[in-house]
Amino acid sequence: MTKVYTPIIRKGTSGGVIYYELASTRPDLVLKDLIKITNPEVLPNYELTFFEKMK
């Protein structure tokens, strides 16, 4: 089973993709997302902010 994540699915209240709206100002959250995706045991209670698993 492959795990593919994308930042394109999550949209903000204005309809824009949150990754493109906020990621440049919140690199800490982008890093946390990437850590959660690659090493979920490091941040067990963290919920992804920008990325979402593709179905």
Per the structure, the complete domain to which residue 42 belongs is given by: 5-53
Share of the chain above pLDDT 90, in %: 75
Confidence check: pLDDT of 8 > 80: yes
Q: What is the per-residue pLDDT for 3?
A: 87
Q: How confident is the model at residue 12 (pLDDT cuts 50, 70, 90)?
A: confident
Q: How confident is the model at residue 5 (pLDDT cuts 50, 70, 90)?
A: very high
DSSP annotation string for 3-54: --EESSS-B-TTSSBHHHHHTTT-HHHHHHHHHHHH-TTTSTT---SS-EE-
Angle, vertex CA 39, rays to CA 7 and CA 11, nearest 5 = 15
Q: Beta 5-6 vs 52-53: how paired, if at all?
A: antiparallel
Total of domains in the chain: 1
